[in-house]
Amino acid sequence: MSQQPTLHLLYSCPFCWKVRGLIEHLGMDVAYVPVNGMKIRKEVAFAGDWGKVPVFTDEAGQHFVDSTPLLRHIDATYNNGLLGTTDDQARQDEWMAWVDTKMSKATVPILYGSLGSALKTTTRISKIEKFGFLSKRLYAWAGFPIMWGIIARKRVKKDGRKPKQLWHDLLTEFTQAHNGQAFFGGESPDLVDFAAFGYMRSISPFPQFDQLTDHEAGMAWYRRMEASLS
């Protein structure tokens, strides 16, 4: 029996945006299913004990988790692996690891790195994510000092740079690795481009995205990535 593939996600989850970009690039017919951020574990319990989003369920009802393995699985299954194989596999693997460690760590500081930005972020999240009646209010009011105090403050302090500077440095390093080409993957994007694009795009629903748009090379690449979606 065949069913429409689904992607269980949170709109504010960078890992989910990685997978969405690839799905949109390939023009796949996938239904997005938002989960309640306060009950992720319960809402994706159907996929086993992983307990996180994104979860991709294919037409046969099989579940796949973890964004980078998921990128590889989708590319291999629906695109003949064209974006995940190159002449220089070591370069692709090395930069995929770079994106998944460096860029993934930069999303929390820019979204929650000061009390003011944490408030902006949680207010926006309470509007765009699926919540229960009470949990929405609880999250909007209690979420921001928690995110700032417990998670972001330590991370910003440890890095030493302002979150904007951190992003600008990462975008400079990443776009320089394109070696003068339009994308990391060359004339067209590869899986590393989609991973990086996902992290950056996850900031786009928030006002802090303004802090990234004045990185010229990074933004030019971002616009090319957007144009590659169908």
Ligand X SMILES: N[C@@H](CCC(=O)N[C@@H](CS)C(=O)NCC(=O)O)C(=O)O
Shortest CB 49 distance to ligand X, Å: 11
With binding defined as CB under 6 A, does residue 67 bind ligand X? yes
Q: Which of 13, 23, 99, 111 binds ligand X (CB under 6 A)?
A: 13
With binding defined as CB under 6 A, does residue 121 bind ligand X? no
Whether residue 11 contacts residue 23, with contact meaning beta carbons closer than 8 Å, is answered with no
Question: What is the crossing angle of helices 67-78 and 191-201, to 10°?
Answer: 130
Shortest CB 53 distance to ligand X, Å: 4
| The token pair that represents 52 in the structure block | 């996180």
Whether residue 11 contacts residue 128, with contact meaning beta carbons closer than 8 Å, is answered with yes
With binding defined as CB under 6 A, does residue 131 bind ligand X? no
Mapped onto helix, strand or coil, the DSSP state of residue 37 is: helix
Residue type, 38: M
* Selection from 196, 200, 186, 224 nearest residue 68 by Cα: 196
| The token pair that represents 171 in the structure block | 């975008």
Q: Which is nearer to ligand X, 13 or 215 (CB)?
A: 13
Shortest CB 41 distance to ligand X, Å: 6
| The token pair that represents 149 in the structure block | 């105090």
| The token pair that represents 219 in the structure block | 């933004």
Q: Which of 34, 51, 145, 186 binds ligand X (CB under 6 A)?
A: 51
Q: How far is the C-alpha of 54 from the C-alpha of 69, rounded, in Å?
A: 11
Among 24-32, 49-57, 73-81, 82-90, the segment contacting ligand X (CB under 6 A): 49-57
Among 8-16, 56-64, 143-151, 180-188, the segment contacting ligand X (CB under 6 A): 8-16
Among 22-30, 62-70, 125-133, 173-181, the segment contacting ligand X (CB under 6 A): 62-70
Shortest CB 87 distance to ligand X, Å: 26
Q: Which is nearer to ligand X, 51 or 145 (CB)?
A: 51
Whether omega for the bond prior to residue 54 falls within 30 degrees of 0, making it cis, is: yes
CB-count burial class (<10 Å; 0-12, 13-18, 19+) for 8:
buried
Shortest CB 63 distance to ligand X, Å: 13
Shortest CB 70 distance to ligand X, Å: 7
Instruction: List interacting residues with ligand X (CB under 6 A).
Output: 10, 13, 15, 40-41, 51-54, 66-68
